[in-house]
Amino acid sequence: MATHTKTGDAGTVGHPSIKRVPYLVENTVDFSPSDVQPAANDLVQFLNIPVETCVLAAGLEVLTASSSGVTLDLGWTATSGNLTTALDAWVDGHDSNAATGPAAVRVPYNAVTFKAVDTIDIKVLGAQDVLGKVRVWALMVDVSGVDETDRN
């Protein structure tokens, strides 16, 4: 199993503003160029998640149909310390053989707080994807402390 990092500028290492409002990040990756054609069980890192971030929801959209037999999971690996690996937390076994629009978000993981820098990843299942183009999105909010001074 290989891990392909395709986050680029998608997401951020810090939050985009000092306001505490939800914001949307997204990244689109085309699997047809030969530099990234994920095989079955490969991970593709799509979005950077800053430290102390609550991901309110996440999903994927198949823009160009994938190779035959490809399904996609959307979640994270256990690099943030407070979470266990959940590669299918938001999307589980999405058939990417047709451009279908946004995938449904699974209810049990609607909001997840990351204590450390992490990524939102796709796990490719079934077959190698040499054709697909996928957009991953996440709605996030900064939940770091504003005033963490001990006042007792």
What pLDDT is recorded for position 75?
A: 92
Q: What is the mean pLDDT of the chain?
A: 81
Largest CA-CA distance found in the chain, in angstroms, rounded: 62
Report the alpha-carbon distance of residue 49 to residue 4 in Å, rounded: 16
pTM of the model: 0.80
What pLDDT is recorded for position 111?
A: 85
What pLDDT is recorded for position 124?
A: 94
Q: Which of 78-82, 113-117, 127-131 has the lowest mean pLDDT?
A: 78-82
**What domains appear along the chain, each with residue ranges and CATH number?**
3-14+22-142 (2.60.120)
What pLDDT is recorded for position 21?
A: 86
pLDDT surpassing 60 at residue 105: no
